[in-house]
Structures are given as structure tokens and as C-alpha cells.
């Protein structure tokens, strides 16, 4: 029951955030209602821990400090983007644990992003810190979503979907991971 309500609240929160984050004319208001979602009612072990080795955790801890991030922020980006798979490569030209796009971030070497653990996590942390710095006056949710959608206006449409909707969907995954991280990491 708690998980179902939490998921519904997060979805509503993301819909409201989308309206607040719009950089141009706001989208029409989204009508929402609280609906009990079906599914397990007992807390579950998060997917986050699968693949989150002590080696990765040590690197995440060190690089989070270096870039002024919370460990959970960096760990969740890595989990969402690749489930901690160093060799991950997408069809759209995204490489490594943080799925760094070679067109958006040409300074990073794809061959190192998929073979060098430290390099891959450092690139992810550096990009996340870049968005944090550029949007320092905004809440973390804004710059966290920018990691996924980039600097485009939230009213821009990509492949028939607004960037704002993509950002909201990413935040749902992120917030679920973030809550699980603090529920299960000692």
C-alpha cells in the first residue's frame, strides 16, 4: 500500500515539476487523480544494489566528493542509465555507465567510457556537476533531469514526445532509486 501511494505521489510531483520547469510558455495543465496502483504492498529490495559493487561504490564516493554531489545522486544516474554496466552502448551513441552521448559530449572517448571504470564514472560525475553548476539556483530535480534531456527547452518535441515529459519520466525513475538508495545503503 505504501509503495503504491508513494509511486502515485512521485508521478503527481513530476507532472507538477514539468509545469514549473518549462522554460517557454507553460504546457496545458495536466489533470491528475490519486489512483491506487496494483502491485506489491511490502517494501522490495531495490534493483539499485544489483551490480553496485564495492569497487564502484568506492569510486562513486570519491568522485561525488570531488564534484560536490551526493553519492546517491551519482549512483542513481549510473543505475538508471546502465544498471552499472561499464560496457553499455546504446543505438543512439551513448557510451559507458553514464550513457554519455558522443555528439553532446565529444571530449569524452567512447572506447574509454566502455572500458575504464574510473573514466566512465568520472565523465558521468563531471557532466552531472556541469548541470548542477549551470542551474545552481534551481532545485536538484531540475539539473538531475537535465542529465538525461540536455539543455533543450522542456516544450521542445523529440520523436513526438515533449522534452518536459521525458524529464518527468526520468525523474520518476530517479526518485524511486534515490529513496531506495537511502533505504538500503548502510
For the chain, 186 residues long, give each residue's pLDDT as a single digit of tens: 444 444 444 444 444 444 334 444 343 333 333 334 444 444 444 444 678 889 999 999 999 999 999 999 999 999 999 999 999 999 989 999 999 999 999 999 999 999 999 999 999 999 999 999 998 888 888 889 989 988 878 788 888 888 888 989 999 999 998 888 877 655
DSSP assignment string, 46-104: -GGGTT--HHHHHHHHHHHHHHT--HHHHHHHHHHHHTT-TT-B-TTSEETTTTEETTT
Please report, for the domain that includes residue 24, its CATH number.
Answer: 1.10.530.10
Specify the pTM.
Answer: 0.71
pLDDT at res. 186:
54
- If one counts the domains in the chain, the total is 1
Domain of 68?
2-184
- The Cα–Cα gap between 98 and 125 comes to 9
pLDDT at res. 185:
58
Where b means 16+ CB within 10 Å and e means fewer, 49-61 reads: eeebeeebeebbe
Amino acid at each position: 500500500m505504501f509503495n503504491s501511494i508513494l509511486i502515485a505521489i512521485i508521478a503527481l510531483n513530476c507532472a507538477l515539476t514539468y509545469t514549473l520547469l518549462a522554460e517557454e510558455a507553460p504546457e496545458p495543465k495536466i489533470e491528475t487523480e490519486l489512483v491506487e496502483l496494483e502491485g506489491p504492498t511490502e517494501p522490495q529490495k531495490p534493483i539499485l544494489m544489483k551490480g553496485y559493487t564495492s569497487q564502484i561504490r568506492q569510486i562513486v564516493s570519491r568522485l561525488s566528493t570531488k564534484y560536490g554531489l551526493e553519492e546517491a545522486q551519482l549512483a542513481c544516474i549510473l543505475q538508471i542509465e546502465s544498471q552499472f554496466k561499464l560496457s553499455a552502448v546504446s543505438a543512439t551513441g551513448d557510451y559507458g555507465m553514464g550513457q554519455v552521448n558522443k555528439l553532446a559530449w565529444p571530449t569524452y572517448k567512447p572506447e574509454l567510457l566502455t572500458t575504464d571504470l574510473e573514466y566512465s564514472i568520472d565523465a558521468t560525475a563531471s557532466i552531472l556537476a556541469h548541470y548542477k553548476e549551470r542551474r545552481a539556483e534551481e532545485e536538484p530535480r531540475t539539473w538531475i533531469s537535465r542529465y538525461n534531456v540536455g539543455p533543450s527547452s522542456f516544450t521542445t518535441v523529440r520523436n513526438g514526445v515533449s522534452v518536459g515529459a521525458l524529464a518527468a519520466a526520468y525523474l520518476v525513475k530517479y526518485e524511486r532509486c534515490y529513496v531506495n538508495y537511502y533505504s538500503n545503503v548502510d
